[in-house]
Amino acid sequence: MGQYASKPMHGRGGLSKLQPMRCPELTPMNPQAAVVGTGLAGASCARWLADAGWQLQVFDKARGPGGRLATRRLAWTAPDGQARTTRLDHGAPDFGAVDPAFQGALTRAEAQGWCLTWNPDHPGGAAGARAGTARRWLGRSGMPDWCRGLLEGLPARWSCAIDALGRDGRGWWLEAAGQRVAEGLDALVLALPPAQAAPLLAPWRPDWARVAAAVPMQPCWTVMGVSTELAQEAPAGAPVRPDTGPLARVLRQDARPGRERRPGEAHWVLQATSAWSRQHLEDSPEAVLRALQTALAEWLGQPVFWRSAVAHRWRYAVPAQAPAGPSHWWDAGLGLGVCGDFLGGAALPPGVEPVERAWTSARDLALAVQTSAVEVLA
């Protein structure tokens, strides 16, 4: 091992890191990298590499970070004429943690004020979660809070869909809408749904592109809205899974810790089953909204009086089956890597959810990037 051997460092990402590499194959004293996609995989990988000395840029087609750890602002007008804004968690509603390393990262994220833990089955809510067995995690005020915290201080371009990438004598370059938005990159990480990553990978790693394009992803239609309080008892803050009908999950947002509560209101997130979502994938949002609102009323056995609601389509929600194979892809010769929940790895313990798979994939890719830099100097 050369002079830049492994040196433990403990930063916000929650991983023991290698110290910054000064590798002859990288730009001298200033290795440059970009991460495309800022869900938990992309945000975590970006933070680990930045803490290890890389100059990072991040890009996302959305208006902010989080990916499927998503919270949406719903703007509406209350009966008194006042303009209101309500935040609704319309991606992954919460998640568990199996691996001790992931549990440790979440504990550190909680200490930073990015996450909180709770037990939906415990009357004490968030406070009771620490003693409960059904421990779940969510962003403190919104699901993207962890990703936003990890990316703090890193240059970011939002509403910037990368549609082309290439290499020249100076390294990787990226284009969005025909305009070059980054160049001279020593390393490039794609943290995108596999169907979106595949066309970008095809010219450089066609084998990866073929695998990514073939990954089955489940869609999910989601409805977010505010109604008057129900006449009869409503579900608590834990997501409820109806036994029949098009609804896979019913969530009372206002019953969850850290979320807005107002007398006389109920805040809802409704997620359709993958089968129903596939069948109605190209339906209009208005038609989906009516169908899922009707399904909720039928399931509850009482009318729901809506004040405002919208529908959102997740075309690539989660992998259709537990992923097999490696936890990440890394080509040291190209300086090209891929991470995400569809590369969670076959060796993970049972019960690992997509959010944890995404984090594990990012951790392993960040280590591979740094290890390859160390090996050059060995």
**Whole-number pLDDT of residue 373:** 62
Domain 217-319: give its CATH code.
3.90.660.10
DSSP H or E segment with residue 36? strand 32-36
Q: Match 């050059």 to its residue by tokens.
A: 376
| Closest C-alpha to 313, from 353, 341, 279 | 279
Per-residue pLDDT 10s for the chain (378 aa) are: 222 222 223 344 444 333 333 333 444 467 999 999 999 999 999 999 999 999 999 999 999 999 999 999 999 999 899 999 999 999 998 999 999 999 999 999 999 999 999 877 654 444 333 333 468 999 999 999 999 999 999 999 999 999 999 999 999 999 999 999 999 999 999 999 999 999 999 999 999 999 999 999 999 999 999 999 997 766 666 678 898 999 999 999 998 889 999 999 999 999 999 999 999 999 999 999 999 999 999 999 999 999 999 999 999 998 887 677 899 999 999 999 999 999 977 667 778 899 999 999 999 999 999 888 655 444
pLDDT of residue 374: 56
pLDDT score, position 123: 42
The tokens of 267 are what?
A: 């805040």
Greatest extent of the chain over all pairs of C-alpha atoms, in Å: 70
Residue pair 76/62 in contact (Cβ under 8 Å)? The answer is no
Tokens representing residue 70 in the block: 């998503």
Report the distance separating Cα 40 and Cα 360, nearest Å. 10
Q: From the CB of residue 116, how many other CB atoms can be counted at a distance below 10 Å?
A: 22
Query: What pLDDT does 120 receive?
Result: 72
Structure tokens at 147: 């990703």
The tokens for 319 are: 């992998």
Number of C-beta neighbours around residue 367 at 10 A: 19
Q: Count the residues in the chain.
A: 378
User: Would you kindly state where each structural domain of the chain is located, as residue ranges?
Assistant: 32-66+146-216+322-377, 217-319
Assess contact for 24 and 2: CB atoms under 8 A. no
| Cβ atoms within 10 Å of 172's Cβ, excluding its own | 22
Residue 13 is predicted with a pLDDT of: 44
Cβ contact 276:30 at 8 Å: no
CA atoms within 13 A of residue 240's CA, in its CB half-sphere:
17
Under 8 Å between Cβ of 94 and 137: yes
What stretch of H or E contains 44? Answer: helix 40-51
What's the pLDDT at 169?
Answer: 92
Provide the pLDDT for residue 346.
Answer: 66
What is the rounded distance in angstroms from the CA atom of residue 310 to the CA atom of residue 296? 14
Q: Write down the pLDDT at residue 71.
A: 96
Q: Which of 272, 251, 14, 274 is nearest to 149 (CA)?
A: 14
CATH number of 32-66+146-216+322-377: 3.50.50.60
Q: Which two tokens stand for residue 223?
A: 């409805």
Rounded CA separation 370/16 (Å): 12
